[in-house]
Structure 1
Amino acid sequence: MSRALGPAALAALLLIPGTAAPAGASGAADSPSLPGMPTTVADGRPCTAGSAKKSAQVPWAQSFLGIDRAWGLSRGAGVKVAVIGTGADLRRVPALDGRVTGGPDVVAGGTVRDDCVGYGTFLAGIVAGGQQQGLEAAGVAPEAEVIAVRATDRHGATTPQALTKGIRAATRTGARIVLVALSVPSAPKELKDAVLAAQKAGALVVAPASAREWESGAGGSQAEKGPAYPAALPGVLAVSSVGPGGKPEAPGTEKGRRSQPRLSAPGVSVVGPGPGGRGQFTGSGDAVAGAFVAGTAALVLSYHPRLTAEQVAHRLESTAYGAVGETPDPGIGLGIVDPVRALSAVLPEERPQPPSGTRRASAPAVPPLDPPEARNRALAVAGGAAGVAVLVAFLAFVLPRGRRRGWRAGRAGGPVTETG
């Protein structure tokens, strides 16, 4: 005959690690039935068709970053973000209405009006897409202005020369943030000069840390190793992607060129808009992570408009999840971007100075946040502890009282009696 567990034994059982999955740590993709967003379209293949599917769920990346809480402080108003990619569908995507305008098409000439691949449309939506009726998905900075610049051919392939023209065109728009969603395997002098000119004009340049998506179209091989450009250039904020739960790609699994990231952000199975209408897609890649960082930079610049590009980058890096020093981790750089903390934190150098002649106390460093997995695990344990407290109270007080009143557990289907 088995013996009933006492309160202490029940408490220990409930707190055994692994008995409950922490929220947000699942590796499951958002709405796996949504079509995937390609990064290129093969020669001879039709353009990406519009999606007929939508998801009413809150996308994991949006919840993971706490973007809705950041909107209480800033929504990116008054900030221009240039997205250099495959263009944007400006005629048929409601999420982009009033938020995305067509910039120069440096390859075909003229002004951007469409997007055969769809990846540029997707990234523009991650930066500043509007929330649609019945859908929870929205861009990071929905009141920012995105200027779509195309630096690829119709199928999504680029070159260092096209990328150079795209960066110079983006700089001429006056954008404070330039998201270069393309990577190439080399950086000729003109590309370096274009990036430097953008930085001198006051723009923060953000780029994917890897070149896997674009290298086959940029004169390289998927098997090549080495840095990706412009991510590897000085002053460029290189970004890598993480999946649900904040896990980076396992070391050693990368293919193609890759530079050391400075920051990371969600970039696996992310939900966003695409070409052709109101439907949604899922997209992945370091460029997607870069879109989250660019959108967060827009929130910061709108809330702290006097910051320079260097100061914005410093704020993003100093307030990232797990920011512990100046040595970037190979997988996530200095940490995972944190929109709420990037807006609200008071950095050590921003603290008020004491009056002259008084002893100055050393300014405490900004405390590092635990990595998302640790935070989720702590929340799960805290929730389990609260449940244990309630259970212990029940076992210690309610059951004895009931027994004093004559309560006994009855058999299934048996009569329940009460004695006075």
Structure 2
Amino acid sequence: MRSSRSSVSRTLGPAALAALLLIPGTAAPAGAAGDADSPSLPGIPATVADGRPCTPGSAKKSAQVPWAQSFLGIDRAWELSRGAGVKVAVIGTGADLRRVPALDGRVTGGPDVVAGGTVRDDCVGYGTFLAGIVAGGQQQGLEAAGVAPEAEVIAVRATSKHGATTPEALAKGIRAATESGAQIIHVALSVPSAPKQLKDAVLAAQKAGALVVAPASAREWESGAGASQAENGPAYPAALPGVLAVSSVGPGGEPEAPGTGKGRRSQPRLSAPGVSVTGPGPGGRGQFTGRGDAVAGAFVAGTAALVLSYHPRLTAEQVAHRLESTAYGAVGDTPDPGIGLGIVDPVRALSAVLPEERPQSPSGTRKAAAPAVPPLDPPEARNRALAVAGGAAGVTVLVAFLAFVLPRGRRRGWRAGRAGGPVTETG
């Protein structure tokens, strides 16, 4: 199963794959640099050290279609659903609601359960980034957009100004999200323990009909919580019953390499893009890149919003079941340690007719039923995108070659369509 997902990365090699996908920090084709199409967007932090300034706005943008957007076939999914009518709470560092056009009309400020009041800003920027992955709008000249651009995101802050949190703060954030009427709650933070207060908050959200999504890991670079997070053991609330734990994969469809970030980890149920992901950030129209299981969780939360908008009668458990049973690579009920039951597939999650949904024949057996839209495996979308990118790269090389060779040939008397030695010009 894993070998098929990594075939593209093995064929092209890491350097070629990175160049074609314009992963930040890699070389870009000539003419691609500049503020309008930057190959090196700044990274969005998960925390800001005490005493350090808030994350500055980005002056860079990329006009390229983000790899994660192509990988998941988001454009195909929009043919069926854009998440209208669904409320998604993102519990994190807040959101910059005054200066980020991608969030206008899509993200509202929920409560700040640590400092009090209502969320208006985001010193760290991570919550802004995640809200954009869930429901960010497409801006003029840019291809990047959220998974469910017509969903409503409620930004709840459950951290200090600099991004630190506690189990008690998370519990308050989950309760606030539940009270706001959120149908999907993405807890974008992890803690090393689950006291009764946190367990009760998750259970109350589930009883209210909300689907709780959480990152499978609590890594140092992701949570900034220090040495306690680096111990072995589960991450919470991902390890709690009924919570949809999510891990991250890169452009090759592979989970992050073991040892990438130390910390606690729970068994994921699903995975999604979480490496070199493009999205909005604080401070204006510029873009950032982000990583981590919380970023992957934002893709899953957005996909859940698409599904619930298209299938409004589904319960939270049924939405989770649909996401898991239609995931790319799903082969049974035993999760893979790296990717869980598979990589979330928005198109299949929307269009597939599950076995239990097929009509029964008079004999009592289930009839086969065609899905509403032909399913699109993420690797097919990825392979086509890479083929186009590879073709463009080949044309670039060819043009450069001809630009170098033809003038030299002409100086030596060569003409197209003629074999042999130099051609002598005649009157």
Aligned equivalents of 1:234, 1:3: Cα separation in 2: 37
Deviation larger for 244-253 or 134-143:
244-253
Q: Find the counterpart in structure 2 of residue 298 from structure 1.
A: 305
Taking a change above 3 Å as real, the CA distance of residues 403 and 367 of structure 1, as seen in their structure-2 partners, is same
Taking a change above 3 Å as real, the CA distance of residues 307 and 62 of structure 1, as seen in their structure-2 partners, is same
- Superposition RMSD on alpha carbons, in Å? 8.1
Deviation larger for 180-189 or 2-11:
2-11
User: What SS does the aligned partner of 1:4 have?
Assistant: helix
Taking a change above 3 Å as real, the CA distance of residues 188 and 346 of structure 1, as seen in their structure-2 partners, is same
After TM superposition, list the pairs within 5 Å mapping 1:15-414 onto structure 2: 32-213=39-220, 217-218=224-225, 220-355=227-362, 372=379, 376=383, 411-412=418-419
User: What SS does the aligned partner of 1:211 have?
Assistant: strand
Query: Alignment identity in percent?
Result: 93
Q: CA deviation at 1:17?
A: 27
Aligned equivalents of 2:256, 2:23: Cα separation in 1: 28
Aligned equivalents of 1:80, 1:37: Cα separation in 2: 25
Q: CA deviation at 1:408?
A: 15
CA contact (8 A) 1:119 1:274 kept: yes
Aligned equivalents of 1:286, 1:14: Cα separation in 2: 20
Q: CA deviation at 1:282?
A: 0.5
Taking a change above 3 Å as real, the CA distance of residues 373 and 353 of structure 1, as seen in their structure-2 partners, is closer
Taking a change above 3 Å as real, the CA distance of residues 393 and 36 of structure 1, as seen in their structure-2 partners, is closer
CA contact (8 A) 1:410 1:416 kept: no
CA contact (8 A) 1:69 1:340 kept: yes
Deviation larger for 85-94 or 376-385:
376-385
Aligned equivalents of 1:379, 1:155: Cα separation in 2: 39
Q: Deviations over 1:101-126 (max 9, x none)?
A: 00010000010000000000000000
Q: CA deviation at 1:247?
A: 1.4
CA contact (8 A) 1:14 1:384 kept: no
User: What SS does the aligned partner of 2:88 have?
Assistant: strand
Q: CA deviation at 1:249?
A: 1.3
Taking a change above 3 Å as real, the CA distance of residues 23 and 201 of structure 1, as seen in their structure-2 partners, is farther
CA contact (8 A) 2:67 2:251 kept: yes
User: What SS does the aligned partner of 1:2 have?
Assistant: helix
CA contact (8 A) 1:25 1:244 kept: no
CA contact (8 A) 1:186 1:228 kept: yes
Q: CA deviation at 1:354?
A: 1.7
Aligned equivalents of 2:222, 2:296: Cα separation in 1: 18
User: What SS does the aligned partner of 2:229 have?
Assistant: coil
CA contact (8 A) 1:22 1:376 kept: no
Q: CA deviation at 1:270?
A: 0.5
CA contact (8 A) 2:93 2:163 kept: yes
Q: CA deviation at 1:353?
A: 1.4
Q: CA deviation at 1:33?
A: 1.4
Taking a change above 3 Å as real, the CA distance of residues 385 and 41 of structure 1, as seen in their structure-2 partners, is closer
Taking a change above 3 Å as real, the CA distance of residues 400 and 282 of structure 1, as seen in their structure-2 partners, is closer
Q: Deviations over 1:145-181 (max 9, x none)?
A: 0000000000000000100100000000111000000
CA contact (8 A) 1:80 1:174 kept: yes
Q: CA deviation at 1:224?
A: 1.0
Taking a change above 3 Å as real, the CA distance of residues 71 and 373 of structure 1, as seen in their structure-2 partners, is closer
CA contact (8 A) 1:251 1:331 kept: no
CA contact (8 A) 1:90 1:96 kept: yes
CA contact (8 A) 1:210 1:228 kept: yes
CA contact (8 A) 2:359 2:367 kept: no
Q: CA deviation at 1:388?
A: 19
Aligned equivalents of 1:356, 1:3: Cα separation in 2: 48
Taking a change above 3 Å as real, the CA distance of residues 244 and 404 of structure 1, as seen in their structure-2 partners, is closer
User: What SS does the aligned partner of 1:34 have?
Assistant: coil
User: What SS does the aligned partner of 1:137 have?
Assistant: coil
Deviation larger for 36-45 or 379-388:
379-388
CA contact (8 A) 1:185 1:218 kept: no
Deviation larger for 214-223 or 317-326:
214-223
CA contact (8 A) 1:24 1:244 kept: no
Aligned equivalents of 2:290, 2:399: Cα separation in 1: 47
Taking a change above 3 Å as real, the CA distance of residues 351 and 395 of structure 1, as seen in their structure-2 partners, is farther
Deviation larger for 184-193 or 218-227:
218-227
Taking a change above 3 Å as real, the CA distance of residues 28 and 186 of structure 1, as seen in their structure-2 partners, is farther
Q: Deviations over 1:159-216 (max 9, x none)?
A: 0010010000000011100000000000001100100000000000000000015786
Taking a change above 3 Å as real, the CA distance of residues 367 and 86 of structure 1, as seen in their structure-2 partners, is same
CA contact (8 A) 1:215 1:256 kept: no
Taking a change above 3 Å as real, the CA distance of residues 184 and 388 of structure 1, as seen in their structure-2 partners, is closer
Aligned equivalents of 1:4, 1:307: Cα separation in 2: 41
CA contact (8 A) 1:61 1:244 kept: yes
Deviation larger for 396-405 or 335-344:
396-405
CA contact (8 A) 2:24 2:276 kept: no
| Structure 2: 5+ residue stretches without partners | 1-7
CA contact (8 A) 2:28 2:39 kept: no
Taking a change above 3 Å as real, the CA distance of residues 224 and 81 of structure 1, as seen in their structure-2 partners, is same
Count of equivalent residues:
420
Q: CA deviation at 1:218?
A: 4.3
Taking a change above 3 Å as real, the CA distance of residues 407 and 63 of structure 1, as seen in their structure-2 partners, is same
Q: CA deviation at 1:372?
A: 3.0
| Structure 1: 5+ residue stretches without partners | none
Aligned equivalents of 1:188, 1:397: Cα separation in 2: 68
Taking a change above 3 Å as real, the CA distance of residues 88 and 253 of structure 1, as seen in their structure-2 partners, is closer
Aligned equivalents of 1:58, 1:347: Cα separation in 2: 31
CA contact (8 A) 1:30 1:271 kept: no
